[in-house]
Structure 1
Amino acid sequence: MHADLILHSGTVLSVDPAFSTSSAVAVRGDRIVAVGDDRDVRDLAGPGTRTVDLAGGTVLPGLNDSHLHLQWWGLARSQVDLSAAGSLDEARELVRRHAAAQPEGAWVRGRGWHERVLAGDDPLGPTAAMFDDVCGGRPMVLEHFSAHGALLNTLGLHQAGITSATAAPPGGEVVHDPATGEPTGVLKEAALQLLDGVLPTPTATQRQAAVVDAIGELNRRGITSVTDPIVTPEMLRDYVTLRREGRLSARLTTLLHWTWPSVQTPIAVLEEAMRYVGSTTGLGDDLLRIGGCKLIADGVAALGTAWMSAPYHHEGTCGSLVTEGADDAERVAALHALVRLLHRHRFQVQVHATGDRACDTAVEALVAALTDDPWPDARHVLIHANLPSAASVEAMARHGILANVNALVKWQAAAGLVGVITEEQWHRMMPARSMADAGVVVCDASDAPITDPDWRLALQMLVTRVPRGGDGPCGPAERLTREQAIRAWTANPAWQDHAETDKGTVEPGKVADLCVLAEDLMSVPDEDLHAVTPVMTVLGGRVVHEG
């Protein structure tokens, strides 16, 4: 039988175990049917075959953003983005312009701010008053770049009913001015749930349209698979609707979650969910499936909420786990209980952990569950994996625990952590090479909307470790090879998805999920990887982007 599509005269990166290359690939239906040299593959052409001359470009597996908050990113694209603001004045001007375009009385929504940009070294940090005069009499909430905090203006605090007497929920903090006792406007971690019922909620139609638009943009970037790491029941219903209506143009793996916006998952809530959820890892089909569940161990270093073994330089505290408990021992026991429960119900467990103590504790909990109740194919995941000890890395490799890191977050946030953590930690943070060399399967992902989901810049950061504004590498010993970096966005996420037999490589029999670049990806200088050009994206043999 003839092929439907042939791509030839380029470099086809199979990303198979040998990282073999060829010059052509043929597709029939939704599958790859041949990979080889131009002559052999072009022999499969028939009257109805579309033949594309790559002209020296590259074919690689469709990119897999294995930690991207899809619906959140879709909705955030209509908000003001402060991630590129270099000063408070720039941030205020961006907010002013955005606010002026909103209806009277509407909330001004935004995201992406950094403490150092807004407040410099002021120990009080950002305050509500910084934006009061640029919002045009409108309430405002700006999400922290990490999504683990928010800044409200004075009217926003008023509408949320947050005062000097407001107590934070367990696992959260309402920041108060120590001189006056009044709230500064900053909410951290579980305190974000104080905004429940306060902020307007988009309709199902609006949410679903935002998802479709977001996937279309991902297709334009060469992305064909996504893992959404926090999927609430409402979000899952939206995704099922889109799947049923044939509106998904990317493969979507979901991690179930029941308590967001609280970062704390009480054991009683999870026990109740397990009684009724009626599924395990793997339920679904090739476009929409349940991958597992997400737990959150701690916060983020930028807010002083990651659990560290030594105090932060700027706060004098160590952060903590955000699980239930009155002290560290109780919180550690709670994390173990949550992991054990999900593992027993055969859910892949993915644990957010950023501080060194949180990383080691999360690994200990995962190893304990795997030891007490062996499940060889669990493929549990340490999310972020910023500062695991050498012993934890060895344990991860021995027990098949993956690391899902975020080069784009390091690229974006590294400068803001100078002086917050030690210099050694600053360089070692995200030890991708140490983990890969130890035998840990390392995936990299954008964590959008925390960053813009640009896998090209992520590859550049993985191989150079030069952050935004930096004049040299941050932890040069942790640079990946180009091959390792490409695997972190293709074959390794397919392994995380338990889908390595279907996707992640360009091999006969695999689904025809392909990204075509105008350039030879293996010849582009490291510092230019961010500028390579996706010209075609194929999902299951169907062209979903071209141009």
Structure 2
Amino acid sequence: MTEECTAADLVFTGGRIHTVDDGDRVAEAIAVSGRRIVRVGTDGEIAPLAGRDTRVVRLDGRTVVPGINDSHLHGVWLGAMWPSLLMDQLAGSGDHAHDAAPRLETAADRRRAILRTADLLASFGITSYTEPGLGPGEDDGASGCFGSAALREYAELAAEGALKARVTALLLFGELDGPGSAAELEKGLRDFAPPADVPGLFRVAGVKIFADGIPPMRTAWTDRPYTGGGHGSLLVDGGSDEEREAALRAMIDAAHDAGHQVGVHATGDRATRVVADAFATALGRDGRDARHYIIHGDLLTPRTLTVLAAAGIGLNTQAGIPVATEPMLADALGEDALRDAWPTRDALDAGIRLCLSSDAPVLTPDWRAGLAAAVTRRGLDGAARGEAQRLALAEALRAYTITPAWQDGAEGWKGSIEAGKVADLCVLDGDLFDVEPQALPSVPVAMTVLGGEVVHEA
């Protein structure tokens, strides 16, 4: 089959197509055949591919961006909680506990939550997301949202064709936001068999490890002392900081040596430094392109950024966190700590692959709100926080599309609008680049396409 002689199934014409390719090219039209994009170009270049049975979507100046990839989103938990969000509770009560959702007792409960999230994310133009931590470490967890049964439900729903987004999962062998140990991780790596991948729709990519807590709760592991005293500690078994650090390094080594991608929740400047060094050491042994990454990275010193960039380690962070919690961090660690807080601009300038994500239901899964926060660094109160770390809109959009595809090891087949890639698309009733940055969340999502199939249409 050649694109010259075969009519497309779906054509978008008369719009502004933000391809997010290497040159951030803007095109006018797209042709889709089956699950893939077959041509991107001008209206005239696409017109010959519109046949009698082709669905033609006349954009009339509307825009298309690649399907959004929320690279850190708790889908089961979100489906159980929505529209409640943890950040609202954190701001109101200082409580980061995850017992706000009703406990999911059965497979039917979990499936309903996943499918509820599927519909919600499709309405936002999200076509891929990462479930950052499901596994036996949470099989007895209070919420029922994070155990190994959820992995099976995902795999079954993917095989049934019921998902409306591609899902990547990380395994969890300790407690969510809680303690872990090298022994239980090594046992899990040895004994736990995750469900088989469903190609293109569901994949278990690696392992999630919790290094520490979060700065506002004074549970992040820091070099600076907290205002009330202490430095926090690692969430790893051990009788001293040195023993806990050695155990964390052993956990990273074990997961790496088993061939997994590793994502580590690390927020304090001491925790992020140790994790970066441990990743660099592991990668230096075999040179594997493992796509390891730090999750959150609230406090990152220039030295740690240099290590991340040199070793090819990614950073997955949430632009909405600093605009909501910077005063809490300053209260916990002092104003001086803000120099190293959520350095998104510095990370990009250092050459680090930066992914922006929601951590929903901590924050809203609406990526447009995440874009606005990354570009403006303004909170709901209008106050700007960390203005020097602002991103350009094109940079922030890449951090929601092609860079998360890199994190997934899938940048060759998704994440941008290019011929040969899957037709994962988000159609907008407006242009992100034509509105004031604070108005980005008001640009409506008109249509979501997953692999050439329309999964949402307003």
- TM-score normalised by length of structure 2: 0.92
Match of 2:393 in 1: 482
Match of 1:540 in 2: 451
**Which residue of 326, 332, 340 corresponds with 1:420?**
332
For structure 1, which segment, 54-63 or 520-529, has the greater mean C-alpha deviation from structure 2 after superposition?
520-529
Match of 1:408 in 2: 320
Match of 2:24 in 1: 19
Q: Which residue identity lines up with residue 247 of structure 1 in the other structure?
A: A
Change over 3 Å in CA distance of 1:2–1:483 after alignment to 2: same
Deviation at 1:66, TM superposition (A): 0.2
Alignment of 1:14-413 (within 5 A): 14-77=19-82, 83-84=87-88, 112-114=89-91, 117-118=92-93, 144=95, 146-147=96-97, 200-232=103-135, 233-261=148-176, 263-277=178-192, 283-313=197-227, 315-375=228-288, 377-413=289-325
Match of 2:141 in 1: none
**Which residue of 489, 492, 500 corresponds with 2:403?**
492
Query: Is 1:468 the equivalent of 2:380?
Result: yes
- Number of matched pairs: 440
Q: Which residue identity lines up with residue 245 of structure 2 in the other structure?
A: V
SS at match of 1:372: helix
1-structure distance, mates of 2:87, 2:49: 48
Q: Is the 8 A contact 1:353 1:385 kept in 2?
A: yes
1-structure distance, mates of 2:304, 2:312: 12
Q: Is the 8 A contact 2:151 2:194 kept in 1?
A: no
Q: Which residue identity lines up with residue 543 of structure 1 in the other structure?
A: V
SS at match of 1:504: coil
2-structure distance, mates of 1:542, 1:62: 12
Alignment root-mean-square deviation, CA: 1.9
1-structure distance, mates of 2:269, 2:169: 27
Task: State the percentage of identical aligned residues.
Answer: 41
2-structure distance, mates of 1:43, 1:12: 18
2-structure distance, mates of 1:373, 1:399: 12
Match of 1:91 in 2: none
Match of 1:521 in 2: 432
Q: Which residue identity lines up with residue 397 of structure 1 in the other structure?
A: A
Q: Is the 8 A contact 1:428 1:475 kept in 2?
A: no
2-structure distance, mates of 1:252, 1:415: 34
SS at match of 1:433: helix
Match of 1:5 in 2: 10
Change over 3 Å in CA distance of 1:357–1:18 after alignment to 2: same
1-structure distance, mates of 2:183, 2:86: 38
Greater radius of gyration (CA) = 1
Q: Which residue identity lines up with residue 394 of structure 2 in the other structure?
A: E
1-structure distance, mates of 2:119, 2:60: 26
SS at match of 2:433: coil
2-structure distance, mates of 1:427, 1:529: 27
Q: Which residue identity lines up with residue 62 of structure 1 in the other structure?
A: G
Deviation at 1:303, TM superposition (A): 0.9
Match of 1:443 in 2: 355
Q: Which residue identity lines up with residue 311 of structure 1 in the other structure?
A: P
Q: Which residue identity lines up with residue 219 of structure 1 in the other structure?
A: A
SS at match of 1:43: helix
Q: Is the 8 A contact 1:16 1:506 kept in 2?
A: yes
Q: Is the 8 A contact 2:159 2:198 kept in 1?
A: no
Show CA shifts across 1:75-132 (max 9, x none): 1127x55754xxxxxxxxxxxxxxxxxxxxxxxxxxx233xx34xxxxxxx7xxxxxx
Show CA shifts across 1:459-506 (max 9, x none): 0111111123143x2111111111110000000000000001110000
2-structure distance, mates of 1:460, 1:82: 20
2-structure distance, mates of 1:262, 1:530: 30
Specify every segment of 5 or more residues in structure 2 that has no aligned partner in the other structure, as ranges.
1-5, 136-147
Specify every segment of 5 or more residues in structure 1 that has no aligned partner in the other structure, as ranges.
85-111, 119-125, 127-143, 152-198
- TM-score normalised by length of structure 1: 0.77
SS at match of 2:49: coil
SS at match of 1:113: helix
2-structure distance, mates of 1:365, 1:70: 29
Q: Which residue identity lines up with residue 333 of structure 1 in the other structure?
A: A
Deviation at 1:201, TM superposition (A): 4.1
Q: Is the 8 A contact 2:37 2:420 kept in 1?
A: yes
Q: Is the 8 A contact 1:59 1:515 kept in 2?
A: yes
1-structure distance, mates of 2:90, 2:387: 27
